[in-house]
Amino acid sequence: MKKLYLILALLITVPVMMEGQVAKYKAVFTLNFIRYIGWPDDARQGDFVIGVLKDSDIARRVNSQIGGKKFGFQDVVVKEFNAIDEVVKCQVLYVSSSINFSRYSDQIKQKLGKSSLIVTEKDGATDYGAMINFVIRNEVLKFEIHKGNASSQGLQISSRLENMSSAIVL
C-alpha cells in the first residue's frame, strides 16, 4: 500500500509532456481514485461500472488496465459513452473536456443518480458538481477535490487522496 501511495505521489509531480502521456496519467489516476473512496452500500451492488464520456483514448486505456478485473467482489466494466443521452448509472463517470460540464452538469447528474463519482478535466467543474477535477498548473498535471460534492452523493474521500490533491474545497 505504501508503494502505491508513493507511486501516486510521484505521478502528481510528473510534468506534462505529450497529450498521450497526459491521457495515460489521467487513466491511471482515475483507476486509483476508486481505492480511496468510501463507497455506500448501493454502489457495491452488481458490476462496478466506470463510464467514460466522449474520450475514447481514456476509455481504451482504462479498459486495458482494469477491464475484466474485480474491485472487491464486483466485476469491473468500462463503458464508453459518445453522448450525454447514452450515459447510464455507473459508479465512476469520467467526463472529457469536450463536454461543457457547466452547461450539462444537471443533466449528467440526473442520469447518474446517487453514489456516482464524477471526474472531469475542465477548470471550474467542481463548481457544478464534479468531485475530482484534473487541472494543469505550471505544466504539471494535478487534480482538485470537492469534498462537499462527494459527500452529497454519499461518497467519502480518504485523507490520503486529499493529501495528494492540489486543492480541496470543503
| Helix residue spans in the chain (DSSP H) | 2-12, 19-33, 56-66, 101-112, 147-152, 159-164
What pLDDT sits at residue 67?
66
Confidence at residue 149, expressed as pLDDT on a 0 to 100 scale: 96
pLDDT tens-place string over residues 30-55:
998 999 999 999 999 899 999 999 99
What domains are defined for the chain? 2-169 (3.40.50.2300)
Bridge partners (DSSP) listed for residue 135:
142
Question: What letter represents residue 45's amino acid?
Answer: Q
Taking only the tens place, the pLDDT of each residue in 61-108 is 999 998 678 888 899 999 999 999 999 999 999 999 999 999 999 999
Average pLDDT over residues 127-145: 91
Q: What is the mean pLDDT of residues 124-150?
A: 92
The pLDDT confidence band at residue 16, using thresholds 50, 70 and 90, is very low
11, pLDDT greater than 60: no
Angle formed by the axes of helices 2-12 and 19-33, nearest 10°: 140
Q: What is the pLDDT of residue 126?
A: 95
- Model confidence band, residue 170 (pLDDT cutoffs 50, 70, 90): very low
What's the mean pLDDT in 132-159? 91
On the question of pLDDT at 166 being above 80, the answer is no
Does pLDDT of 138 surpass 50?
yes
pTM: 0.86
Cell numbers standing for residue 76 = 469491473
User: 2 or 105: whose pLDDT is higher?
Assistant: 105
Cβ(115)–Cβ(40) below 8 Å: yes
Rounded to the nearest 10°, the torsion over CA 166, 90, 54, 144 is -10
pLDDT, averaged across the chain: 86
